[in-house]
Structure formats: structure tokens, C-alpha cells
């Protein structure tokens, strides 16, 4: 419903509305692709190189991020 209201407002200005509309769709697509890459592809690629279960790697990354932030993300897989 919210997206319909936003689209209705953007429809009032045809030139600008289409540009902003495609920008919104592009932003959503980029975020979705980034999430798929980080949560599905990277664990599978890293599993092939270090022979570790992807679920264990995912939780190691989550714990590393929670405990030590960005440094924890980089150190979680080698320490696991």
C-alpha cells in the first residue's frame, strides 16, 4: 500500500517520477544482490577453500561481528 502511494505521488511528475522510481527499484535490487552474495555465495566459496560447514561459518561471522565488530568479522573464520 505504501509503495502504491509513493508511486501515485511520483506519477504526478512524469519526468522525475520515473527517474526516482527506477532509482528505488535499483537500490532494492542492489541491496538484495549484496545480501545474497554475502549470506549464500561467500560461505560456499569459503567452505571450498577451508573445508568448514557453511552454517558454522555463518554463525562464526555473526559472533565475531557482535563481539569485536569489523575486526571480529575478519578474524572469526581463521580463529574458528
Question: CB of 17 within 8 A of CB of 10?
Answer: yes
Q: Maximum Cα–Cα distance for the chain, whole Å?
A: 56
Which residues of the chain have a pLDDT value below 50?
none
Provide the whole-model pTM: 0.46
What are the phi and psi torsion angles at 52 (to 5°)? -130, 145
Exposed, middle or buried by CB within 10 Å (0-12, 13-18, 19+), for 51? exposed
Q: Number of structural domains, the chain?
A: 1
| pLDDT on residue 35 | 92
Question: Residue with C-alpha cell 567452505?
Answer: 47
Domain that holds residue 40: 2-79
| pLDDT for 28 | 96
Amino acid at each position: 500500500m505504501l509503495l502504491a502511494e509513493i508511486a501515485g505521488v511520483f506519477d504526478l511528475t512524469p519526468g522525475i517520477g520515473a527517474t526516482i522510481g527506477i532509482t528505488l527499484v535499483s537500490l532494492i535490487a542492489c541491496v538484495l544482490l549484496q545480501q545474497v552474495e554475502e549470506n549464500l555465495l561467500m560461505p560456499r566459496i569459503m567452505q571450498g577453500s577451508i573445508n568448514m560447514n557453511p552454517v558454522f561459518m555463518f554463525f562464526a561471522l555473526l559472533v565475531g561481528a557482535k563481539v569485536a565488530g569489523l575486526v571480529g568479522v575478519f578474524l572469526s573464520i581463521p580463529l574458528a
